Amino acid sequence: MTTFIQMHLLTAYPPANLNRDDMGRPKTCAVGGAERLRISSQSLKRAWRTSSVWEEGLAGNLGVRTKEMGVYIFKALTEGKTLEYLIQQREDAQVLGKIKDKAARESAKAIAEVFGKLDAGKTDKEDTLDKGDAPDQDADSSKKEPAEDESLKQLRLKQLAHFSPEEIGAISSLVEEVRASGKVPSGEALNLLRSRLSAADIALFGRMLADKTAFNVEAACQVAHAFSVQRVIVEDDFFTAVDDLNRDDMGAGHMGVSEFGAGVFYLYVCIDKNLLLKNLGNDADLAGKALAALAEAMATVAPTGKQNSFGSRAYASFIVAEKGSRQPRSLAAAFVKPVEGRNILADAVEALKETGNNLDKVYGPCADARRIMNALTGEGSLKEIIDFITED
């Protein structure tokens, strides 16, 4: 029987531009015929995944999502540094042996190709580099950089790949073998993909390797786009900046326009706890840490768009956590009609409660148990929410 954990959060943001569209405006959507502010699930997950909350709670159990692994392997071999040093940007790297560019490039290419196709777009400048020639060390420095850039471009993956700690460790070990032997790896040495993972971010949010589907991971966590419970109008902030040393012209040294909006956002997240455990090799302790870090990040971390201009950091004011085996359901229907009035946050809390109660009446209990945190009344706490979702 599948156990689902469902989280419903209301967070009030002051004027902000947390998540921008291609025109630089706050993202929006139409709900119930009214325009709302929106924060995409991708933006939310990125903010959580890169937060200090996440890093401290899941240290050693996080993956790395990148196209650049081949480039880092090449640099590790040619600069005499370990792969971990380059990825983690540590300052204690010991000086190791270096190998020639040709062998380093071919090795980096062979290893990176295990995780997907490379970006092999060619230009005239790449013809010699395809043959493994090192950049001309005697050439003028202004001419040397483009050749090096084109060489590195061929080591990048076409699509982002999410590497688990186990896979990074296997790659790192292989890099050191290449450094010692000077030989390009092949055959069994390139069995670097792992089915058993300890990466909590991969277990929660999944990964897709288009050419290695056997190592895909189905996401255990579904994140909805957050949207404002009230109707909004995106506003314009006309601003100026003064030139401190221009004492003759009292006009502005710079003028611009920044768009923003404010609102109370509803966020819904659903976690398949059984799938999370499966993805983590039935490591219940690690699954608990993943859930705890996720819950704290959801409640306290927001996308960082335009933070220096708006300082719009906010904690969730209201959280409902639910557990049960019934099919999950969002409570977004509570806000199809925009919340109006002078106390939008409190009214949103009541609308959310009412919708949940009414669904229980017509469908039967939609969850086996619930916990509530209400910062408006001081009811409950984030710790109680975390204890509730992590207990067996």
Exposure letters 27-41 (e unless 16+ CB within 10 A, then b)? bbeebeeebbbbbbb
Which segment of 141-155, 218-232, 278-292 scores lowest on mean pLDDT?
141-155
34: tokens are 């009214």
Grade residue 121 by pLDDT with cuts at 50, 70 and 90. Answer: low
Mean pLDDT to the nearest integer, 172-182? 95
The pTM of the full predicted model, rounded to 2 decimals, is 0.87
The pLDDT value recorded for residue 90 is 72
Output 1 or 63, whichever has higher pLDDT: 63
The pLDDT value recorded for residue 307 is 81
d(CA 299, CA 3): 22
State the DSSP H helix or E strand holding residue 310, giving kind and residue range, or none if neither.
helix 307-310
Q: Over 90: is that where the pLDDT of 120 sits? A: no
Percentage of residues of the chain with pLDDT beyond 90:
72
8 A C-beta contact, residue 330 and residue 356: no
Mean pLDDT to the nearest integer, 131-156? 52
Q: What is the mean pLDDT of the chain?
A: 89
Mean pLDDT to the nearest integer, 154-183? 95
Mean pLDDT to the nearest integer, 301-308? 86
Which segment of 3-7, 12-16, 264-268, 272-276 scores lowest on mean pLDDT?
12-16
Mean pLDDT to the nearest integer, 352-371? 97
The pLDDT value recorded for residue 93 is 63
Mean pLDDT to the nearest integer, 379-386? 98
Mean pLDDT to the nearest integer, 335-360? 96
The pLDDT value recorded for residue 127 is 34
d(CA 234, CA 28): 9
pLDDT, one tens digit per residue, over 22-56 is 888 899 999 999 999 999 999 999 999 999 999 99
Q: Over 50: is that where the pLDDT of 311 sits? A: yes
| Residue showing tokens 């302790």 | 285
Mean pLDDT to the nearest integer, 158-165? 94
8 A C-beta contact, residue 73 and residue 174: no
Q: Over 60: is that where the pLDDT of 174 sits? A: yes
The pLDDT value recorded for residue 243 is 81
Q: Report how far Cα 337 is from the mean position of its chain's Cα atoms.
A: 31
Output 224 or 195, whichever has higher pLDDT: 224
pLDDT, one tens digit per residue, over 87-100 is 987 766 678 899 99
Q: Over 70: is that where the pLDDT of 134 sits? A: no
Q: H helices within 124-193, ranges in order?
A: 141-153, 165-181
Which segment of 74-78, 94-98, 286-290 scores lowest on mean pLDDT?
94-98
